[in-house]
Structure 1
Amino acid sequence: MSILYRSDAPRAAAWASYFAEHATDLDFRVWPDAGNLEEVEYLIAWQAPAEFIAALPNLKVLFSSGAGIDHVDFSAIPEHIPIVRMVEPGIIDGMIEYVSLAVLALHRDFFDYVSMQPTGTWDPLEVPPASSRTVGVMGLGVLGKAVLERLATFGFRLRGWNRSPRQIVGVESFAGTDQLQQFLVGCDILICLLPLTEATAGILDRKIFSSLPKGASIINVARGLHLVNEDLLEALNSGHLSRAILDVTDPEPMPPEHPFWRHPRIFVTPHVASMTQPETAAPILLDNLRRHWRGEPLIGLIDRSRGY
């Protein structure tokens, strides 16, 4: 039984080492040393080209090496082949760390103090309690729930919005397009953790920003295509939005001349909020393989009709 890993090259050795120790009966291969592709039954991949998928006639399951599956061309994957996204502690922990850091930096005005330092300005700002701010999360999947759970420990008022209704203890929940406006008007800090689908592409636009209270900030840790760049610049330049923290952009990487790099109200990181960690992801994936062999439901199986 052959498994092919075609993803993050620097982490490939760690994946291979784990399978060599814990699954000696499996033929674990790392791209480009794939051998005969007709022997490959399981693929762990990120952005596998359609022509490559077509060269795997005996593929049984496609495992995304990350939490997102927007990189997968569904039309290139036969309907009978399950597509599974990565759900593992390393991804969750990384996202909790990043979003907590971003929310607290906005809440405690760290970026204002950074701008004061070059001029030697000592100007203490008011320190409001966390309970005076409302943080809203768009997308209440595994990551969204985990982020809200951690933010609750700081005392923020919490809101969540999802396509379908979700109930989370301590979180005021909203669902569907009918309740989106109601959700937004109370958010001082808005976090996007939505999956990227046709319905959510471009959702962070002028309409969304104008619905937020004046002085609100946004954090995008989902996908760059969720954001309409021009609309964000307009909202920041007009003073309606205060700041934006972006871990994802469109395009990636941004060219040096992109206006986001030099905008004083935008902070950019290079898509590093959360990454798959081999030491926690490999055991999860191996367990999923065994579930497939036993005919049990796969953890992280995506619904093609919904796109996530």
Structure 2
Amino acid sequence: MTLTLLFSAPERIWPTYEDVLTKALENAGLDARLTRDASPEEVDYIVYAPNDALRDFTPYANAKAVLSLWAGVEKIAPNPTLTQPLCRMVDPGLALGMRDYVVGHVMRYHLSMDRHIHGLNGQWDHITPPLAKDRRVTVLGLGELGQTCAVALAQLGFDVTGWSRRPKGIDGLTCLNGPDDLAQALSAAEILVTLLPDTAATQNTLNADTLALMPKGARIVNPGRGTLIDDDALLAALNSDQIGHATLDVFRTEPLPADHPYWAHPNVTVTPHIAAETRANTASGVIAENIRRSEAGEPLLHLVDRSAGY
């Protein structure tokens, strides 16, 4: 029997996925029809990213799973009409893209590259950076993306502390967990990378109180979620030099409004949500494998825990 896969996502990404996902399904040995238009009762799986065309999942009672194209599911999981199993995207290409972004900006801070890029104005400012082993980096969030970044930094020699909600053990890292360990994780953060999911428990993780726990002049890299940071508190910490610089890739409102103070602040680098993106060629393989597993009666990969929100 031919499976029907509804591709429900912003129209602009359909051309990117149409051929590569079809090929991935064929390579997985699946007889499947990928379409953007199907009667709800005939849909077996929904490949999904938030869009205006599909917000009510009630008619898709026969669908066996909703397969998210994005790693973050905070805009999908709370939907009360979604009763089907929901799988988040864990894409090797996404993880590698995030690793490259994070390592690049951590190295930029570690080596004080901005000092030279922006010019020394004729001053022979002979300041040698420390070795990576003497630089303390903390990564908040040890999911797939956080682990990939933290391990890469540790392999470069950095003194890396990772913090997560639940206990984790990762070779080469100091692993902390739970609310009681957050202060310790932040106090060790000369450079802080935030890769937590967006949940009620993680919003404003960086606020006036927690920013004050960090070493004076610490640097922040946030490619995770805009809601992790209290913007007013960060601006105040930047203005007082408690935080030396922040590189921000994600924001509460995107695109970032033209009049937002981040644009003009001398100690903020804004990047337009480019740290990592799902790659169609690698993500298609993940989707095809999950459908193959489902059809074979095997457990789905990367199931979302609705109570936790990720």
* TM bracket, shorter-chain basis: over 0.9
Which of structures 1 and 2 has the larger relative contact order (alpha carbons within 8 angstroms, sep 6+)? Answer: 2
Aligned partner of 1:183: which letter? A
The equivalent of 1:247 in structure 2 is 249
Provide the residue aligned with 2:233 in structure 1. Answer: 231
Q: Kindly indicate whether the alpha-carbon contact (under 8 Å) linking 2:77 and 2:86 is maintained by their aligned counterparts in 1.
A: no
Aligned position for 1:101: 104
User: Structure 1 residues 230, 27: CA separation in 2 closer, same or farther (over 3 Å shift)?
Assistant: same
Counterpart Cα distance in 2 of 1:163 and 1:261: 32
Matched, 1:29 2:35: yes
CA apart distance, 1:39: 2.2
| TM-score scaled by length of structure 1 | 0.92
**Structure 1 residues 94-145: Cα deviation after superposition (integer angstroms, max 9, x where no partner):** 011000001001111122223326x565534332111111000111111111
* Alignment-mate amino acid for residue 179 of structure 1: D
2:13 aligned with 1:16, yes or no? no
Partner of 2:8: 6
Residues 110 and 302 (structure 1 numbering): CA distance in 2 closer, same or farther, change over 3 Å? same
Asked if residue 70 in structure 1 is aligned to residue 88 in structure 2, the reply is: no
- Of 258, 266, 269, which aligns to 1:267? 269
Q: Note closer, same or farther for the CA distance 1:82–1:242 as it changes in structure 2 (3 Å cut).
A: same
For residues 280 and 121 of structure 1, the distance between their equivalents in structure 2, rounded to whole angstroms, comes to 48
Residue 8 and residue 154 in structure 1: after superposition, are their counterparts in 2 closer, same or farther (change >3 A)? farther
Greater shift in the superposed pair: 9-18 or 238-247: 9-18
What secondary structure does 2:100 align onto? Answer: helix
Q: Which amino acid aligns with 2:234?
A: L
Preserved CA contact (<8 Å) 2:10 2:50: no
Q: Per-residue deviation at 1:55?
A: 4.1
Give the whole-Å Cα distance in 2 for the aligned partners of 1:180 and 1:244.
Answer: 19
Instruction: Please state whether the residue corresponding to 1:212 is helix, strand or coil.
Output: coil
Match of 2:50 in 1: 47
Q: Decide whether the 8 Å contact of 1:46 with 1:71 is kept in 2.
A: no
Structure 1 window deviating more from structure 2 (190-199 vs 18-27): it is 18-27
Unaligned runs of 5+ in 1: none
- Provide closer, same or farther for how the CA distance between residues 51 and 179 of structure 1 changes in structure 2, counting only shifts above 3 A: closer
Cα distance, 1:78 vs. partner?
3.8
- Counting only pairs closer than 5 Å after superposition, residues 213-232 of structure 1 correspond to structure 2 as 213-232=215-234
Aligned to 2:157: 155
Q: Aligned pair 1:188/2:190, yes or no?
A: yes
Q: Secondary structure at the match of 2:118?
A: helix
1:129 to 128, 131, 134: 131
CA distance in 2 between counterparts of 1:152 and 1:159 reads 9
Correspondence for 1:84: 87
TM-score of the aligned structures, taking structure 2 as reference length:
0.92
Match of 2:288 among 286, 289, 296: 286
- Write the distance in 1 (CA, Å) between the matches of 2:273 and 2:280: 18
Which residue identity is paired with 2:110?
Answer: H
